[in-house]
Amino acid sequence: MSDGLPPLREVVAKYELNAKKSLGQNFLFDLNLTGRIARAAGASDEATFLEIGPGPGGLTRALLAHGAKKVIAVERDDRCLAALEEVAAAYPGRLKLVPGDALALDYPAFLAEQGVTGPARICANLPYNIGTQLLVGWLTQKQWPPFYDRMVLMFQREVAERIVAGPQKRADYGRLGVLANWRCETKILFDVPPAAFTPPPKVTSSVVELRPRAKLLECDAAALERVTAAAFGQRRKMLRQALKGLGVDPLALLEAAGIEPTRRAEEISVEGFVALACALSASLAIQ
């Protein structure tokens, strides 16, 4: 889709946007690919899009060209802002640029300040060095349903596989998979080869979709974090051993959750971990 703006490679040359590793910069120039991500995110839906790290604007342009009425883009690298201003000028009133650190934002308050009333849609080719940290922050929001109605995010494939993994994919299943699948329905949409990026990363990437579950299994996120950290911290050990560090009797905890003490972390479903987290909260409350 042509937007009358110069090709991204020209933009990068004009503004001297040589990629910085420290900012996790691997840019996308392929319009077919950015268009595919934008369509996967439902760019033409009535939604406000929140993009983290627009960089020179490849995905931003795709979202706008595919119909996004409003994109709020948070970018830490000030060098990119002049290039992004050109995109904003080509789509009057539809792109709001926010210079700043995406890790430092209180998202519900930030979106309220931006005048966003409904849930936002997060769509981003995340900086690989802080992608997991950002995702965990979005997944552990106190308010649920959260401030977003969907996330369509690019990660390194290895991280994407951990996000979607359940006990049937034991090698990848861990704390991230439990958290992500407790709060969202998750799936990998498609892979993206290293050659699609400039500069190319060493590994394949994947676009992941996460949709918040309307009905959550009740449990305290901090308790869930504690049981999964203990269980997967010693994933080869039986749970009766691995859960010893929690400061409560592991056998009583496992019995309350209806889990056999000889099981290992990687065999336990999300529901099982939620039951363990509830048992831990209850047990700490009466101590």
Query: Which residues bind to ligand SAM, rule: CB under 6 A?
Result: 23-28, 52-55, 58-59, 74-77, 80, 101-103, 125, 127, 130
- Give the residue with the Cβ less far from ligand SAM, 29 or 144: 29
Nearer to ligand SAM, 52 or 122 (CB): 52
CB of residue 139 to ligand SAM, shortest distance in Å: 17
Residue with Cβ nearer ligand SAM (154 or 243): 154
Structure tokens at 256: 């309350």
Least distance between ligand SAM and beta carbon 71 (Å): 11
CB of residue 195 vs ligand SAM: minimum separation in angstroms?
14
Nearest approach in angstroms of CB 213 to ligand SAM is 27
Minimum distance, C-beta of residue 46 to ligand SAM, in the bound complex (Å): 23
Please identify, using beta-carbon distances, which residue of 101 and 185 lies nearer to ligand SAM. Answer: 101
Nearer residue to ligand SAM within complex by CB, 51 or 266: 51
Q: Where are the beta strands (DSSP E) in 148-235?
A: 148-156, 184-192, 197-198, 205-212
Q: How do 205-212 and 184-192 pair as beta strands?
A: antiparallel
